[in-house]
Amino acid sequence: MSAATEMDDKVSGLRDHSSTEDLSEESVLIRDCPEFRDVEPTPQFEGHAPVASIAYSESFKDAHDYLRSLLKMGELSERALKLTEIALNINAANYTTWKYRRDILRHLGTNTLEEYDYIKMMIPDNAKTYQVWHHCQKILEWIGEPMDILEFIEEVLKQDSKNYHAWQLRQWVLLHFKFSGTAEEIAFVSKMIEDDVRNNSAWNHRYFVIHTLSEFTDAVFSAEIDYTISKIKLATNNESAWNYLRGTLAQKGQGLTHTEVEKLTELLYSRGCRSPQVLMFMADKLREDCEKADASDDIGEKVRLCSELYEVLANKWDKIRCRYWTYLSQEFSAEFGSRIGSNEKTEVAS
Amino acid sequence: MEHDFGLALLRTRFNDEGFPTKTSEEQEEVEERVRHLYQLFHLAMEVDPEEPKLDAQKHILFLRKYLRGLPSKYECLDASQPWLLYWICHSLTILREELTPKEKSEVAQYLALCQCPDGGFAGGPGQNAHLAPTYAAVLALCTVGTEEAYKVIDREKLAQFLRKVRLPSGSFVMNVDGEEDIRGAFCALIVARLINLSLSSDIFCNTAHWVSQCQTYEGGFGGKPGLEAHGGYTLCGFASLALLNAIHLCDINALLRWAVMRQMSFEGGFQGRTNKLFDGCYSFWVGGIFPLIQKFLSKKATNSILDEHWLFHSQALQECILICCQTSKGGFCDKPKVPADVYHTCNTLCGLSLAQYEPLSESAEYPIAQIHPFINLEVSRLRNALEYFYALPQVA
């Protein structure tokens, strides 16, 4: 490669770089704005050798040097508000800038509805940043009504159906504004589960709606068990559904015992299903039966079956967790091993 | 256990049971990437039975380069600068690479600039105090471990800051006017434990009860009561209960079941939530839960497995870290085909250290140091810091 073409490459590389920077900036530097002519910028590093210092871009340094100055002066003004917007566009994870922005908004008494539109615009590009979601929550608190936030969250969840912050804000909104329309919320979450039966965030939300927002009646309990069973039949090793089932049963306080659930595991097992989730539930249920049994009850068969399940989980169906299954098996044997029929004792793996 | 080279007999692919969904498709896509790497590893192992190896020198070079300066893509962590220092210094310490006296002094001086006049540390000079950088700064200073570094921390003022961010419920907001979640309690408790603030003071009144409410029906902990169980929040919650001597407030068997289920059958690494993808960073967040659970359970257990092995598959996790997360240019990443960064480098190294220091492990295979599972300091740095701060009068 000749020196000339090498140079060309470098220059065009630079040009590419600067043109993308121009696009992302969309505005001139603060130091060139007449509005800020009276402000002396405050650099981050003063007299110290910075370690692990970030190679900040010009626009980043420019905005934040001025922001530091205004913050130090405690200036609560329109131009400061504008500056926070520029800085947050560059780094939406700066909690100090967001707090400053709220201080300015409080002071100026700015239209909170406009701020609500602004934060909705900011969230999609920063959907994994704590601060944008928190700001949204604060603004809703100020407005005092939920606006169209539930629809907005639904839109965000279309992009990322497991976005933790989105589900978190949703729970907060439902609690804070004392939502009574749990039927609608159940319909929403059923649709989410319909879209992806393995979406654990949706299952968790269902649990929240059922147990925190509504009354957990016997009818609700039965309906939830039926619903979960129908979903387990679609994908028998779906941990989300099994966990939900366990959680729902636990709320009833009767352990893992339930006729319909027992029918389900029997059906699946007899059809040859060896999903670890199914075997795991069966083992836990047998163990629970043994724990509940009186000293005089004959639990030999249950002890044998449970030990066998632990054994096949450890050595065949769920080998990655072999230590865990061995641990449970050993604990179980220590407690119930002596209650197995004496003629069968030798068959059981320890 | 019989020897299973490269764990080929152990690994089980995801089965969508003829019912594919977005979750299963994404899972299968990642497994395909991982399968490719494990295949290459099998070929490499035929040539060099020492594989997989930790390329410590390459990681040290990567970390040292970043200690001097970070590329501009780290701009988004401008409000987490103490974290950057902690991740780099802690990673180097795990790799047994000592900082020079000059570097130690520079790190201490820089963190001093991040300390706020009213107490606590900020994400950078001139920013507001926040619990996460406070945690990171204190851990980084303890990792540096010089008297100059210890002396940076204004303990009285730090206690004042904690009082400003605690809520009557016992939980904490991360900063004044900031968000409330379980990280707050965890950061406050770890810092208090390290620098000798009284854990029985009013600051932590009701905290154990609030934290215990974050345990979900799945067994792990969420960020707040009602939220989904998550690896990071689970370590925060369980460690908080341990520090407050309140493990009895949680269902430990459910927690253990949830934690073991996070290990992926094919990849060997941990996912952070049910039905999500594995990510190298959970090697620490989820891996770190086990030593504590096992210590607690072994008090009442009848068998000795708890004192001998981790209940997760240690070899599978280590292979995942070394084969899927270790990058050829130095540093570790979240999952294959993603560039390395200092956060994932630190958390995978922490996970590797946890996995290798299994209770009965004969000797460390790799030249890496041991960490304390949930305080997450190298053990000698932890000992030195406790010695220093507990020779000072306790801050009430």
Interfacial B residues in 77-96 facing A (CB < 8 Å): 77-81, 84-85, 88
Does residue B218 sit at the A interface (CB-CB below 8 Å)?
yes
Does residue B312 sit at the A interface (CB-CB below 8 Å)?
yes
Cβ of B126 within 8 Å of Cβ of A44? The answer is yes
Q: Is the pLDDT of residue A12 over 60?
A: no
Return the sign of the alpha-carbon dihedral for residues A125, A130, A133, A136. negative
Q: Is the pLDDT of residue A5 over 70?
A: no
pLDDT band with cut points at 50, 70 and 90 for residue B362: low
Looking at residue B364, what is its pLDDT?
53
Query: How many CB atoms lie under 10 A from the CB of residue B64?
Result: 15
Q: Which of B228, B252, B256, B258 to mutate to test the interface with A (most CBs of A within 10 A)?
A: B228
What single letter denotes the amino acid at residue A55?
A
Does residue B261 sit at the A interface (CB-CB below 8 Å)?
yes
For tokens 């929403």, name the residue. A188
Would you say B231 and B282 are in contact if contact means Cβ atoms under 8 Å apart? yes
Query: How many CB atoms lie under 10 A from the CB of residue B25?
Result: 11
Would you say A88 and A111 are in contact if contact means Cβ atoms under 8 Å apart? no
B142-151: per-residue pLDDT in tens? 999 999 999 9
Q: What is the rounded distance in angstroms from the CA atom of residue A241 to the CA atom of residue B217?
A: 12
Cβ of B217 within 8 Å of Cβ of A196? The answer is no
Any catalytic annotation for residue B164? Answer: no
Q: Checking DSSP bridges between strand A53-54 and strand B69-70, what pairing results, if any?
A: parallel
Does residue B299 sit at the A interface (CB-CB below 8 Å)?
no
Q: What is the rounded distance in angstroms from the CA atom of residue B4 to the CA atom of residue A319?
A: 12
Q: How far is A239 from chain B (nearest CA, A)?
A: 7
CB within 8 Å of B195: residues ≥ 6 apart: B138, B153, B155, B158, B389, B395
Nearest residue, CB atoms, B72 vs list A51, A57, A237:
A57
Q: Which of B104, B130, B166, B344 does the annotation list as catalytic? A: B344
Looking at residue A181, what is its pLDDT?
73
Looking at residue B7, what is its pLDDT?
81
Nearest residue, CB atoms, A320 vs list B68, B263, B273:
B263
B53-93: per-residue pLDDT in tens? 999 999 999 999 999 999 999 999 999 999 999 999 999 99
Q: Is the pLDDT of residue A27 over 90?
A: no
Give the ipTM.
0.96
pLDDT band with cut points at 50, 70 and 90 for residue B256: very high
A291-317: per-residue pLDDT in tens? 999 999 999 999 999 999 999 999 999
pLDDT band with cut points at 50, 70 and 90 for residue A2: very low
Any catalytic annotation for residue B281? Answer: yes
Cis preceding-peptide flag for B71 (omega within 30 of 0) = no
Would you say A308 and A348 are in contact if contact means Cβ atoms under 8 Å apart? yes
Q: Which of B89, B114, B281, B333 does the annotation list as catalytic? A: B281
B34: tokens are 């991982």
Q: Is the pLDDT of residue A23 over 70?
A: no
Residue of A nearest to B77 (CA): A93
Structural element, H or E, at residue B70: strand B69-70
**Which chain B residues touch A52 with a CB distance below 8 Å?**
66-70, 81, 84-85, 88
Residue B180: helix, strand or coil by DSSP? strand
Q: Is the pLDDT of residue B375 over 80?
A: yes
Does residue B107 sit at the A interface (CB-CB below 8 Å)?
yes
Interfacial B residues in 166-205 facing A (CB < 8 Å): 174-179
For tokens 């459910």, name the residue. B254
Looking at residue A45, what is its pLDDT?
79
Q: How far is B66 from chain A (nearest CA, A)?
A: 6
Cβ of B126 within 8 Å of Cβ of A195? The answer is no
Count CB pairs under 8 A between chains A and B. 222
Residue ranges of the alpha helices (H) in B196-281?
A: 207-212, 231-243, 252-261
**Which chain A residues touch B276 with a CB distance below 8 Å?**
162, 200
Q: Is the pLDDT of residue B204 over 90?
A: yes
Cβ of B177 within 8 Å of Cβ of A239? The answer is no
Partners of B395 in the beta sheet? B197
Looking at residue B299, what is its pLDDT?
87
Nearest residue, CB atoms, A323 vs list B84, B227, B305:
B305
Cβ of A168 within 8 Å of Cβ of B224? The answer is yes
Highest mean pLDDT of the ranges A42-56, A68-82, B347-361: A68-82
Looking at residue A47, what is its pLDDT?
62
Looking at residue B365, what is its pLDDT?
58
Nearest residue, CB atoms, B110 vs list A51, A201, A330:
A51
Q: Is the pLDDT of residue A344 over 60?
A: no
Nearest residue, CB atoms, A330 vs list B80, B219, B305:
B305
DSSP state of B11: -
Q: For A93-135, give the DSSP string.
A: T-HHHHHHHHHHHHHHT--HHHHHHHHHHHTGGGTT-HHHHHH
**Which chain B residues touch A196 with a CB distance below 8 Å?**
21-23
A141-152: per-residue pLDDT in tens? 999 999 999 999
A89-131: per-residue pLDDT in tens? 999 999 999 999 999 999 999 899 999 999 999 999 999 999 9
Q: Is the pLDDT of residue B230 over 90?
A: yes
**Which chain A residues touch B271 with a CB distance below 8 Å?**
none
Across residues B227-247, what is the average pLDDT? 98
B267-312: per-residue pLDDT in tens? 999 999 999 999 999 999 999 999 999 999 998 877 789 999 999 9
Does residue B148 sit at the A interface (CB-CB below 8 Å)?
no
Q: Is the pLDDT of residue B164 over 80?
A: yes
Residue bearing the bigger pLDDT, B361 or B117: B117
Q: Which of B107, B257, B274 to mutate to test the interface with A (most CBs of A within 10 A)?
A: B274
**Which chain A residues touch B268 with a CB distance below 8 Å?**
320
Looking at residue B304, what is its pLDDT?
81
Cβ of A60 within 8 Å of Cβ of B1? The answer is no
pLDDT band with cut points at 50, 70 and 90 for residue B359: confident
**Which chain A residues touch B122 with a CB distance below 8 Å?**
96
Across residues B374-378, what is the average pLDDT? 95
Cβ of B106 within 8 Å of Cβ of A168? The answer is no
Q: Is the pLDDT of residue A16 over 80?
A: no
Across residues A174-198, what is the average pLDDT? 95
pLDDT band with cut points at 50, 70 and 90 for residue A254: confident
Cβ of B256 within 8 Å of Cβ of A322? The answer is no
